[in-house]
């Protein structure tokens, strides 16, 4: 087979190529065997063959998506509700006392294959998985991130959080803006007056 | 719930770094983060574990988590994100209220979430599959008649960051 030069391909063609070579797409289409737990027209749930614990399940959208931000909202809702049912199935049948619902977006977050998946992992006390560490952080740094993130989240969701400090600054800004507008208005009046002087001057 | 430390956050908003809020959920910055930009997404309705939440709330929580994850990519220059829900004390859940953790990820960020994989034989996988399938079809088809899961809760009161936050009333 000739090596494919990715530079000559359109984004759609690259995606098509990824789909063709995606192991999970092949598992979903049953071209590769797996231990299926559940499937419908949108999703397949299979056992991970290299589990973190016995009963480790993968919730896979049938459509090929690489990461969560690419997936439409209604499908996100559907997939995580299937994850909830998967979690309940594990709690009811394997005698475990907890589960971890885990998503990695991107290789640096630990994503191993370019097909989005939700891991549903049975947990045992003291199994030392997913220990989320805690660190100290400066108040200034927290405030800085808060401003950056809440602005962007407000833009993405169309919802602004009620924040008294933020409101104060916004009020200040709008005061300054309206003062500037007034100034502009007065200026333009002056300009007009000047123009009229000029024009009338032409006739004299 | 009155005595839930997480429910109490909404009564003392000024002590926390809110980055998002709507009628169903809110998001705050973790005050002792795993990494800079560590966020907690929390449903307003009191529920100890995911299984106690209605489908529409779960959909909403994860749609919002995705938007927050996107904002992390856009503004903090993260090269990846993790979205983690530890469901039940055995999974490391510390307070009896559902919390989704969102972590921005960078190269060499020293966060170790990867698990050592277990070697299992095909026969073992088949056994596990049939154990799960013995009841899971009922759950997926909505014919689930088993009672709700009650998970043992042990609350660590002494030095929890959320309680510390609550005490820091100005």
In chain A, where the domains are located: 9-123, 139-203
CATH fold, domain B5-107+150-167, is HIT family, subunit A (3.30.428)
In CATH terms, the superfamily for domain A9-123 is HIT-like (3.30.428.10)
Contact between A149 and B78 (Cβ < 8 Å): no
The pTM score is 0.82
Secondary element (H or E) of residue B61: helix B55-76
- Answer whether residue A48 shows pLDDT above 90: yes
Candidate from B29-38, B109-118, B132-141 with smallest mean pLDDT:
B109-118
- Answer whether residue A163 shows pLDDT above 70: no
Across B159-169, average pLDDT: 47
Q: What is the pLDDT of residues B29-87, one digit of tens each?
A: 999 999 999 999 999 999 999 999 999 999 999 999 999 999 999 999 899 999 999 99
Return the domain boundaries, chain B. Answer: 5-107+150-167
Query: B93 CB near a chain A CB, below 8 Å?
Result: yes
- Answer whether residue B126 shows pLDDT above 90: yes
Looking at residue A174, what is its pLDDT? 74
In the 3-class helix/strand/coil scheme, how is A12-74 assigned residue by residue? Answer: HHHHHHHHHHCHHHHHHCCCCCCCEEEECCCEEEEECCCCCCCCCEEEEECCCCCCHHHCCHH
The band of A178, judged by pLDDT with boundaries at 50, 70 and 90, is confident
Q: What is the pLDDT of residues A97-137, one digit of tens each?
A: 899 999 999 999 999 999 999 999 999 998 989 888 899 99
Taking Cα atoms as reference points, which of A86, A92, A107 lies closest to residue A37?
A: A86
The minimal CB distance from B63 to the residues A73, A109, A142 is found for A73
Looking at residue B71, what is its pLDDT? 95
Q: Which residues of B touch A88 (CB under 8 A)?
A: 51, 139, 144, 149
Contact between A58 and A71 (Cβ < 8 Å): no
Looking at residue A60, what is its pLDDT? 98
Interface predicted TM-score of the whole assembly (ipTM), two decimals: 0.89
Put simply, the chain A residues between 77 and 116 with a CB less than 8 A from any chain B CB are: 77-82, 84-94, 96-111
Average pLDDT, chain A: 86
Q: How many CB atoms within 10 Å of residue B86?
A: 26
Percentage of chain B lying above the pLDDT 70 cut: 87
- Answer whether residue A203 shows pLDDT above 50: no
Taking Cα atoms as reference points, which of B112, B125, B33 lies closest to residue A104?
A: B112
Query: B149 CB near a chain A CB, below 8 Å?
Result: yes
CB contact (8 A) between residue A157 and residue B69: no
Q: What is the DSSP letter of A185?
A: H
């Amino acid at each position: 087979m000739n090596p494919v030069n990715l530079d000559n391909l359109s984004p759609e063609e690259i995606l098509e190529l990824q789909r063709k070579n995606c192991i999970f797409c092949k598992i979903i289409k049953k071209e590769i065997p797996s231990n299926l737990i559940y499937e419908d027209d949108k999703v397949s749930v299979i056992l991970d063959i290299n589990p973190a614990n016995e009963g480790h399940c993968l919730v896979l959208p049938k459509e090929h998506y690489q990461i969560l931000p690419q997936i439409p909202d209604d499908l996100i809702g559907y997939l995580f509700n299937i994850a909830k049912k998967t979690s309940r199935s594990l709690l009811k049948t394997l005698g475990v006392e907890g589960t971890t619902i885990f998503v990695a977006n991107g290789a640096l977050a630990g994503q191993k294959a370019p097909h989005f998946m939700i891991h549903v992992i049975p947990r045992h006390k003291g199994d030392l998985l997913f220990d989320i560490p805690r660190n100290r952080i400066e108040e200034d740094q927290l405030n800085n991130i808060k401003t950056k993130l809440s602005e962007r989240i407000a833009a993405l969701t169309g919802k602004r959080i009620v924040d008294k400090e933020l409101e104060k600054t916004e009020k200040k800004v709008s005061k300054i803006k309206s003062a500037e507008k007034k100034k502009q208005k007065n200026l333009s009046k002056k300009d007009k007056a000047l123009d009229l002087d000029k024009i009338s001057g032409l006739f004299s | 719930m009155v005595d839930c430390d997480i429910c109490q956050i909404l009564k003392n908003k000024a002590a926390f770094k809110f980055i998002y809020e709507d009628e169903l959920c809110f998001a705050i910055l973790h005050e002792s983060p795993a990494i800079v930009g560590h966020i907690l997404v929390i449903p307003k309705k009191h529920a100890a574990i995911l299984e106690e939440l209605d489908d529409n709330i779960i959909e909403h929580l994860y749609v919002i988590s995705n938007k927050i994850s996107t904002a992390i990519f856009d503004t903090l220059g993260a090269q990846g994100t993790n979205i983690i829900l530890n469901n039940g004390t055995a999974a490391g859940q510390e307070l009896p209220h559902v919390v989704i953790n969102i972590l921005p990820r960078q190269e060499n960020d020293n966060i170790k979430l990867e698990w050592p994989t277990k070697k299992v034989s095909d026969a073992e996988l088949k056994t596990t599959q049939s154990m799960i399938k013995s009841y899971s079809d009922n759950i997926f088809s909505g014919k689930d008649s088993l009672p709700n899961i009650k998970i043992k809760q042990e609350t660590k009161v002494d030095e929890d960051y959320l309680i510390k936050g609550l005490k820091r009333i100005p």
